Chains A and B, each alone.
Chain A
């Protein structure tokens, strides 16, 4: 099983990049058998169930890295873990690294890990991406398609792409609500 996991909070601006990319990905490509596209939110250690039983995992997430907002960087497992996780006060703080290490401690988890990371511009309360991150969605999808290809999975584009199901970014529909009448 290969899992493509979009990580991030869709209510926090550019932090929602991962889920956004996964929604666009599934709109453009049917998910082949043996692969899962998952909008995983910000699961912390609850990522571990997605790592057990997976041969390979591709994360799409925002990254704290040197560079300009909107740049896409691709990392492997060693690069992700190069900066070790820190002692945390809250047990539920973001935990992608912790989840990888925890699964490793248990002797399971994917043999191959890829992180497609975007440098965010604007992380604050809000349901849309900054223009630079919106422009980075296409390159991120390329990176995911390439990563899958290197694992022997070729995605086939839909002849007629679906509308991406990015429900959180829709404007409030207060005028069309039945109660308004």
Chain B
């Protein structure tokens, strides 16, 4: 059977490789392979649990904040340490801002060009584009003048032969179907989104002290001293800076992101039928509302076989249903042995062999919940939200399906969300709810401070002997969990089970494929040399498996002497 291998980065970065067997223009079988050993958890052994988050936020340069938060939550869980309300709210604001930033970047800068043909935008009439935009939203950036300027800028790139960031697109591909006006509008929003993703990240910088690596966390709370009249601390001026940004970003998310996703969903309706894959979904609750992590603004839970009627909720930071049912399998991963173990009991001993279709073929382990592969991410978040009656999620999901349905002149039900474009829609729906909840948590923080509560930190105390803890965070890409074993105050074992491991993981000991692998089966492929359709489905998960290293490729040659461990 003809086989497509997408392995674009063959040098030391060694990232995600996708293999697909194609027959009759349709994918029949697929493999997802992480091409780099990390095992960074091993660096943590023997260290102080209070410093673990400094290291874990360096796992990945993009997902810094999420690994920091999961780490402090894991240690707090091991010690059963409460976290003051102010600290919860400050953390929640950082997490919300990070998630909005991440989702905007993903949609516009990392995946929109899978759907939007930049070169086609040159054929658009800016006046018609502006009229179309005005029928969909009142966004200030959709004027004829602005759209003319964008078209001229893109024309400048094309005429000079310097397409720059746009040069890698599959322009003119038969699977590109948007009319020129929609392409121009999307390119304009691509450029505007650069400004908004930068802006919302300032919330992380103001509250976290710095991006990309925040400095304000501590096991037991945060390090943001609160004194409303002091320039050096968290004060009213900084809080109002945050509020202004949250207002601006909410405007962009409602007026631009919402409309763009609805339009693309409506105009590529066939992509609401491809890419379903694994329909077991996992999400965890987040945005805690109390000091113990028993009440949350976002629900979490488990759905098996797409059956929303039989959802099982995950309710607290101590949830035994979550704690007891996570395992990882190395049956098809390049590690020594063939076990399936609980994260507390895992080890990470690399043993590389060749890429073997029926054997070992990835550095990513295969996480399982009660033995089943699970899809994580915004789609899981939205579906568990719908299943558990989460009103804000239901509101935005309904609005999205109604709007896309009216553009497509059809009726769309939540069933279409189990798909490649459904994942993009779910990510946007989640972002709308986050934008609303960020406002709520800003108010909760300000009101709590106004009551005279300035507590930010509970000192951790490490008893002699062994404690085990787990901390989870419902990150932009889905359920992230850190698992820690502490012995006599130092780290004895540490494992991170990350969202892209759930989604990008290989087969397990029962040969059940992971979500990427399953979702590719049935995808059409029009041109095996330019497998845009496969890229679309893989990108819909927002892959992020190895930002771990960063070497600039200057002359396209292999590094002289690299040890792969």
Contacts and interface: CB of A to CB of B under 8 A. Distances in A.
Given A67-B560, A68-B560, A123-B559, A90 B544 contact: yes
Given A92-B543, A94-B549, A41 B58 contact: yes
B127 interface: no
Nearest to B212: A43
Contacts of B198: 48-49, 52
A173 B47 CA distance: 6
Given A48-B194, A86-B168, A88-B9, A42 B548 contact: yes
The size class of the interface chain A forms with chain B is: 35 or more
Interface string A46-65: 10110010000001011111
Interface string A93-136: 11011100111111100000001010111111111000000000
Interface in B438-467: 461-464
Interface string A155-179: 0000000000001100011100111
Contact of A106 (B39, B191, B463, B561): B191
A90 B516 CA distance: 12
Contacts of A105: 153, 157, 164-166, 191
A118 B512 CA distance: 43
A81 to B, nearest CB: 9
Contacts of A85: 168
Given A80-B552, A125-B40, A173-B48, A89 B535 contact: yes
Interface centre among A45, A46, A63, A107 (most CB of B within 10 A): A46
B25 interface: no
A124 B559 CA distance: 13
B8 A88 contact: yes
B167 interface: yes
A26 interface: no
Given A174-B47, A178-B462, A179-B488, A101 B58 contact: no
Nearest to B56: A11
Contacts of B191: 105-106
Interface stretch (B10-18, B138-146, B220-228): B10-18
B563 interface: yes
A106 B11 CA distance: 30
Contacts of A42: 60-62, 547-550
Interface string B58-91: 1111111000000000000000000000000000
Interface of B: 6, 8-9, 11-13, 15-18, 37-40, 42-43, 45-48, 54-55, 58-64, 105-106, 109-111, 153, 157, 164-168, 191, 194-195, 197-198, 201, 211-213, 461-464, 488-490, 535, 538-539, 542-565
20 contacts: A12-B40, A41-B64, A43-B61, A45-B62, A64-B557, A65-B555, A66-B560, A87-B535, A89-B15, A89-B538, A91-B106, A93-B9, A103-B194, A105-B153, A115-B554, A117-B552, A123-B12, A124-B564, A172-B490, A178-B462
